[in-house]
A and B are shown apart, each in its own frame.
Chain A
Amino acid sequence: SPDFDDGGSKLKRLFSQPLYNIQTPELKQEEKLLQLEQLIEYYRRKVSHWERHKKLYDEAASFTNISLKEPKMTYDPDASWLKFHLGINRYALYSRDDPTILQLLWDMENMTIVSADYTQDEKALKGACDCTQVVKPSGHHLKLALKMHNFGKAMFKPMRQQRDEETPEDFFYFVDFQRHNAEIAAFHLDMILDFRRVPPVVGRRVNLTREVFQVAHNEDLRAVFFTSPANNTCFFAKCLYMCKTEYAVCGSPELLEGSLSAYLPGLTVAPRLSIPNPWKRSYTFAEREEWEVNPFFCDSIKQAYPYNSGNRLLNIIDMAIFDFLIGNMDRHHYEIFTKFGDEGLLLHLDNARGFGKHSHDEMSILAPLSQCCMIKHSTLLRLQLLARSDFRLSDVMRESLEKDPLRPVLTEPHLLALDRRLQKILRVVQRCVRRLGKDEVITRDFIKPTATP
């Protein structure tokens, strides 16, 4: 029976459910991604690198008689991003009710931005723009790497679409816009589903002039800033602009909202593997992938490494459920940490193409679930819990998103679509159970639930 002593907060009640209090076994040293000494050493190197650069800037500045307004950088061994990195383990990116995450969100929202630059994948293109490519590489998209004064880094994706705009019906999934609010909402949904596989994301209004242009040292980046006829500060993604596929994004006049997602540890300290999703789409206008035409596709996947053992396939199905809820058709790859091997967590990175259409449920995203007819017991229990009226998914999402500075992050139709899609997932599971029996479908993973609700 529900009690309302907690001020009617469904979210709090949800998180106090036994299902959300399953304790993972005590973590052994090798089950953590990073060791403290290793990370501190890495951090020190970054700081000294920055100081060397700063010295160079200062010298150049004194030479040209320009006084640079350099922000104060602080070395802080207690920085929230550092703790976040240290907390990553083989089960999740962060633990439940970890105060570090709240602190990290707060930091990303409020901290001074000391530098802005292109992201690595954009730099990797080295300015080469192939406009004939139908599917643009991820480096083409408009996003920036922002650095905070405690050396924390976040990826900034600016607002491209109004909240109430839907993806045009003629758009293919691979030409859809990147939505900042989808990034934010995906983080909250991931937390509510207790997956914890999305790095923390927060919304922020960024001052394009002060917080991006003036702290950008990259000449290429500075060159893409301009003032629009309406006197707004704008900037554009070089390749997309050159190819005339997109116009610039503009502040009004300088403030632009966007999502900031926390960086994962650098690839040098924590290498990751990017693996093609077996259920990825063709990324062409007409062709179809095998899974789209072969209903027994999963049978062959089940035989293939690494899906033939362990939890990998169940993790893929978790990811499909997550993507179906947000309507993300663009999951071509997933990433894992090399250190944890095949049994590690799947990272749900890059969710900006979710939440494009609230009036449409793309059932093909659920293909892994409907074709394999397998689901983790813990996932199913949580989905069933979130379908109940006292923990309704749309309500807990609404409540969770209220905490974001860019509220409302999702419009009401998108929230209600979550409930509808959740029902569809449960129906698919039901159908599987009817066909194959409970024992075949509902699979126990390595996390044993201590109690059932």
Chain B
Amino acid sequence: MILFRKFRVLILMVFLVACTLHIMIDLLPKLEKRAAGADGEEGGCQCAQHPGREAQGWGKQRARSAAEAGWPNKHTLRILQDFSNEPSSNLTSHSLEKSTAGGDRAGDPRGRTGPSAKERKALIGDASGARTASAQALSRLSALFEHPLYKVDLPPLTDDDTLFNVNNDIRFYPRATGNQGWHNEEGAEDEDEFSPTAEATAESYPNWLRFHIGINRYELYPRHSPVLDSLLKDLVTQRITSVAMKSGGTQLKLIMTFQNYGQALFKPMKQTREQETPPDFFYFSDFERHNAEIAAFHLDRVLDFRRVPPVAGRLVNMTSEIRDVTRDKKLWRTFFISPANNVCFYGECSYYCSTEHALCGKPDQIEGSLAAFLPDLNLAKRKTWRNPWRRSYHKRKKAEWEVDPDYCDEVKQTPPYDRGTRLLDVMDMTIFDFLMGNMDRHHYETFEKFGNDTFIIHLDNGRGFGKHSHDELSILVPLSQCCRVRKSTYLRLQLLAKEEYQLSSLMEESLLRDRLSPVLIQPHLLAMDRRLRLVLQVVADCIEKEGYVNVVEEDLSGDTANHRGPGHR
């Protein structure tokens, strides 16, 4: 009996302790906030104080919502973010990074010492200086974008055609509209673009959110959008507040979170610009190249596909921008100082993550590509499709399409390739991949909301631009087997083969805007011209064989039926 009573007391005590703990945990952020406020006064940094406070509050919100896991609360802005660019990770967005990233947020988002505002200003000045310089020269690129072929309008958009409905969906995220922190922060940095006194409208959202809102059925971003330029600038200049390793990928990729809560996928430099893929390498053991990611984005834009998420090159300080801001022990542990006194790390992944393949800075600066994240999978589900012309990924086996010359006839009868524009989209992707020499397109993705009548997202282009002296004709097999191409694509390809719109010089000009310019060495640029001629040759052969109307799909007549109408094969 006494024993039982003692036990009851024990339970009561435990309960009490638990309650106190709960209260303490709830109070903690408030205390921290107070401390942060004091800091701000002492340091005299006015601009950072407000967002810091906001972020603290938000961090608390996040922590609580994660604990309760209630539906509406779960819709914080956080999950607008995508944590994975990997096709296979479609279903597993409850990944480790998410929780660590969330943890970081709840911690101290402004305590780190990033580059000072002055330094940042200087960097921005640099960038704009380079831009005006290139604009002064006779710009082939702007001439291209003035061409009528680059002025074809999209069909009018309805609510069903946009990924997010600003009026309905964004309202769910009170933090997105209510948080003055973002536009204050933005305002402090680029006053010319954002008025600090603006209302909490779509214009005041951070650029990454505006990019997400702008995604529609036909494109990832519009042709001439100020958001895109600002987003690219953000990728290069925003302070990195936390870094996590991306799990599940084959090669090392880092997820970087910026001070405006945008996120990007970082692929570090593994090879120099001049290095070519060794001839004995299989496509699946090739390195992923950061410059290929950057160049693919520019190529996609020059081709007017707009199916690659924005990518920018950036010089990252491995110490202050990776090692000191990561909570990932596994990543942190792999940092070391090389015999040449450079900072190196190798991370953890299934391919080339070992001391033999350590990534070393000079002494601590490392180049890499930063690709903007797509909206989180919880908000905008994506479908992953197996590429019908996928390779075998085996050292000895061959894929079906490699042995069956009539393979495309089969594909044409299989949904979703039997109707709509999907087959034509695959052809566009084929041409895109051939121009870069990317043999690693095993899957592609679409946004689920748009069903089968939408474009293909061209993700993961790091294995392009590996060999400039070799044209891998097997990448073009879908085109030569199916003999179908969009008229708009065909006309643009012809345009880009012309002397005055030469693809290589357009790409060269476009890539000049990147911080890591020159992104591609000359032989790679020239290889694109050569490959473009090969593509046109394949189409010409098709036309000769099957007739123009059967090969070239009319898509320029201007009615939406072309985009969504059935029976187009």
- A173 and chain B: residue at smallest CB distance: B339
**Counting CB contacts under 8 A, is A207 at the interface?**
no
Known: A169-B340, A226-B396, A286-B336. A247 touches B354 (CB 8 A): no
Check if A229 sits within 8 Å of B339, measured CB to CB: no
14 residue pairs of the A-B complex, CB under 8 angstroms, read A169-B339, A169-B342, A171-B338, A172-B338, A173-B339, A175-B355, A229-B281, A230-B280, A232-B279, A244-B351, A245-B357, A246-B356, A247-B280, A286-B336
Which residues in A have their C-beta under 8 angstroms from that of B355? 134, 172, 175, 245
- A234 and chain B: residue at smallest CB distance: B280
**Counting CB contacts under 8 A, is B5 at the interface?**
no
Interface range, A side: 20 to 34
Contact of A131 among B280, B282, B354 (CB under 8 A): B354
Question: Interface on chain A toward B: helix, strand, loop, or mixed SS?
Answer: loop
Check if B339 sits within 8 Å of A170, measured CB to CB: yes
**Counting CB contacts under 8 A, is A285 at the interface?**
yes
Check if B351 sits within 8 Å of A229, measured CB to CB: no
Q: List CB contacts (< 8 Å) of B269-284 with chain A.
A: 278-283
Binary A-proximity of B349-371 (CB < 8 A = 1, otherwise 0): 01111111110100000000000
Binary B-proximity of A226-262 (CB < 8 A = 1, otherwise 0): 1111101010000000011111101000000000000
Check if A244 sits within 8 Å of B344, measured CB to CB: no
Which residues in B have their C-beta under 8 angstroms from that of A131? 354
Known: A244-B350, A246-B356, A247-B285. A229 touches B279 (CB 8 A): yes
- B338 and chain A: residue at smallest CB distance: A170
Question: Interface on chain B toward A: helix, strand, loop, or mixed SS?
Answer: loop
Check if A170 sits within 8 Å of B344, measured CB to CB: yes
**Counting CB contacts under 8 A, is B6 at the interface?**
no
Binding site for A on B (CB under 8 A): 278-283, 285, 336-340, 342, 344, 350-358, 360, 395-396
Rounded to whole Å, the gap between the CB of A118 and the closest CB of chain B is: 20
- B339 and chain A: residue at smallest CB distance: A172
Check if B354 sits within 8 Å of A245, measured CB to CB: yes
Nearest 5 interchain pairs by C-beta = A285-B336, A228-B280, A170-B338, A230-B279, A169-B340
Complex CA gap A234/B344 in Å reads 31
Q: List CB contacts (< 8 Å) of A138-180 with chain B.
A: 169-173, 175
Which residues in A have their C-beta under 8 angstroms from that of B342? 169-170
Check if A245 sits within 8 Å of B281, measured CB to CB: no
Known: A234-B280, A247-B285, A250-B280. A169 touches B354 (CB 8 A): no
Which residues in B have their C-beta under 8 angstroms from that of A229? 279-283
Complex CA gap A228/B351 in Å reads 19
Check if B356 sits within 8 Å of A245, measured CB to CB: yes
Most chain A Cβ neighbours within 10 Å, of B281, B337, B356, B357: B356
Complex CA gap A226/B396 in Å reads 8
Binding site for B on A (CB under 8 A): 131, 134, 169-173, 175, 226-230, 232, 234, 243-248, 250, 285-286
- B277 and chain A: residue at smallest CB distance: A229
Check if A170 sits within 8 Å of B279, measured CB to CB: no
Complex CA gap A72/B535 in Å reads 56
Which residues in B have their C-beta under 8 angstroms from that of A228? 279-282
Which residues in B have their C-beta under 8 angstroms from that of A170? 338-340, 342, 344, 358, 360
Complex CA gap A247/B353 in Å reads 13
Most chain B Cβ neighbours within 10 Å, of A228, A244, A246, A286: A244
Check if B280 sits within 8 Å of A171, measured CB to CB: no
| New contact pairs (7) apart from A227-B396, A245-B355, CB-CB < 8 Å | A134-B355, A169-B338, A169-B339, A172-B338, A244-B350, A247-B281, A285-B336
Rounded to whole Å, the gap between the CB of A213 and the closest CB of chain B is: 14
Complex CA gap A53/B285 in Å reads 38
Rounded to whole Å, the gap between the CB of A210 and the closest CB of chain B is: 19
Which residues in B have their C-beta under 8 angstroms from that of A227? 395-396
Which residues in B have their C-beta under 8 angstroms from that of A245? 352, 354-357
Check if B340 sits within 8 Å of A244, measured CB to CB: no
Complex CA gap A286/B395 in Å reads 39
Contact of B395 among A226, A232, A246, A285 (CB under 8 A): A226
Which residues in B have their C-beta under 8 angstroms from that of A173? 339
Known: A244-B354, A245-B354. A232 touches B336 (CB 8 A): no
Which residues in B have their C-beta under 8 angstroms from that of A248? 280
Check if B337 sits within 8 Å of A286, measured CB to CB: yes
Complex CA gap A402/B426 in Å reads 58
Contact of B337 among A171, A175, A285 (CB under 8 A): A285
Rounded to whole Å, the gap between the CB of A383 and the closest CB of chain B is: 27
Which residues in A have their C-beta under 8 angstroms from that of B280? 228-230, 232, 234, 247-248, 250
Rounded to whole Å, the gap between the CB of B545 and the closest CB of chain A is: 29
Rounded to whole Å, the gap between the CB of B313 and the closest CB of chain A is: 22
Which residues in B have their C-beta under 8 angstroms from that of A234? 280
Which residues in B have their C-beta under 8 angstroms from that of A244? 350-354, 357
Check if A243 sits within 8 Å of B354, measured CB to CB: yes
Which residues in B have their C-beta under 8 angstroms from that of A230? 279-280
Complex CA gap A309/B367 in Å reads 56
- A229 and chain B: residue at smallest CB distance: B282
Which residues in A have their C-beta under 8 angstroms from that of B354? 131, 243-245
Which residues in B have their C-beta under 8 angstroms from that of A232? 279-280
Contact of B278 among A134, A247, A285 (CB under 8 A): A247
